[in-house]
A and B are shown apart, each in its own frame.
Chain A
Amino acid sequence: MKWITRERPKIDRIACPWLIKHFVDKEAEFMYVPAEQVKERAQAIGAIPFDIPDVEFSHHEDKCTFDYIIEKYSLTDPALQTMALIVRGADTDRHDIASQAAGLWAISAGLAYNIQDDYELLQKGMMLYDALYNWAKYLQKVKHTQNPVDHVFIDVYNKFIKQQSAQKKTPAWVKELKQIIQDQIDSNINLTQISKSLDINPSYLSREFSKHFNNLSFGEYIRKLRIEKAIELMQQNKYTLTEIAYLTGFSDQSHFTRIFKQHTGKSPSLYKKEWDKSKKDTKG
């Protein structure tokens, strides 16, 4: 169809062609003529007159022609409803009904001032409404955080967060627990007792333990400490292996021997023999 309206379009006579072309009549052609010739020319060429008084496609009460087309063709796209308010606000000087109306008006009025050819203006205006539609449809919730200063803050913040999670602060109970284990390594310590003295749930403690103790379970960590202490005592050359087993919290010597071998690959007596020999060798 051909659609005809008054020359020198600004808002509604650009927005309506955009709406018609995209949502009503893909083949639509648009003509701009002096106001007093619209009806006459419309009849002569069989075109639909729009946005002039006393025709169907026009303003109705406080609504503009863009609104009428949406209503007439039951266009339900929410983005179009958003645009309708902006167009109406800009077209009827009611900038209060949509915050984007004043900006649309300024740019449209300026475009009309700069571009004298109505058809060129229509073509530029089409891009404007394409943009407004995409904003309304996809970007309405997007904030513009392009402020480079904001970006610097965001970058620094992200680095801070990364460092925080990388370093994972050691909880206070971990330090306390290390101390307790150190002090009681020669006694029969167990996790349940310790969790009581730390006032921490035992299953939580058991689950969290390895995160803070080199991926070792409570039992593994205790055994490692005991063996290290046993080796230290052997090197002092003051204790028998039975005494050492006792001093390092092992219930009996065979248990001590078994665990020691697991950790060092040697029995305690062999380990001690080799140590004593190496001492002599160095002396010699």
Chain B
Amino acid sequence: MTTYLLKRIAMLVPLMLGITLITFTVIHLAPGEPVDMQMAMNPKVGKEARERLTKFYGLDKPLHEQYFTWLGRLARLDLGRSFSSDNRPVLDKIKERLPITLSLNLVALIIEFGLAIPIGVLAALKRNSHFDKGTTVFVYLGIAMPNFWLALLLMYLFGVKLSWLPISNLHTLGYESYSWVAQVWDLVKHLILPLIVASFGSLAGVSRYMRSGMLGVIGQDYIVTARAKGLSERVVIWKHALRNALLPLVTLLGFSVPGLIGGSVIIETIFSIPGMGQLFYQGVMSRDYPVVMGILVIGAFLTLLGNLLADIGYAFADPRVRLR
């Protein structure tokens, strides 16, 4: 196990360097220097400020020197300052958005797996039943439906037609004056639609995964053995079969780590949720390069870590993996 861990961790270094290289290439895709672009949009910034920025990003130096300066700052978690008028460090901006995105997506993830696992198992057990066929249709629709369209439909139905739920932001204006119970209720009401949209698409995929995992396990010899030694069907299915069918989901959980942190640009933009996705989108729209690069590079690092965690989790759960 230790050897496996060490091997995996050693692999991280070249991958991380690769990530920084690609991110750095993306920065230099811009026709003209990033500083020029920023200045062009803001004529008030004088020559002096331009020189300061050029110096900060080392744009007057050769490419490899720029790369190493940037890499050095990245190692100290210094992502530079935002180009926007508040001029705050990018890291601070990220810190302020992260809890919102993280909690929203964590709840969505719990809903997703909480529903997808039983749906997948039942569909597998009752193969070709009406329930199975129904979920198959639902899965195809879920995968093909653009999430922003689902969001629009829900906004129209529950927000506009029925006026049951608010359709944007996380709080009603002036919610500070409410009692805490009312504040919580207010937050819950604002979260219902984003949560439905955030969990719907992947719910379909995960339940499908669960179904095929379960179908694969049910035919195995050890299930026949469990039945043969007289265990009740419930114990066979929910203990012996489910545990093994859950294995592949560990990998899926790892894949959802970047989503937990990066959030969804689309959902956060539609529902005006001040999270990471919205920050990124605003950065893209206003060409706030430090913000875009910062989130991109952090997002990629976290994906890498998520994959590593998934693999380690898998190795813990399945001893066969460790031997390889």
Do A and B assemble together?
A: no
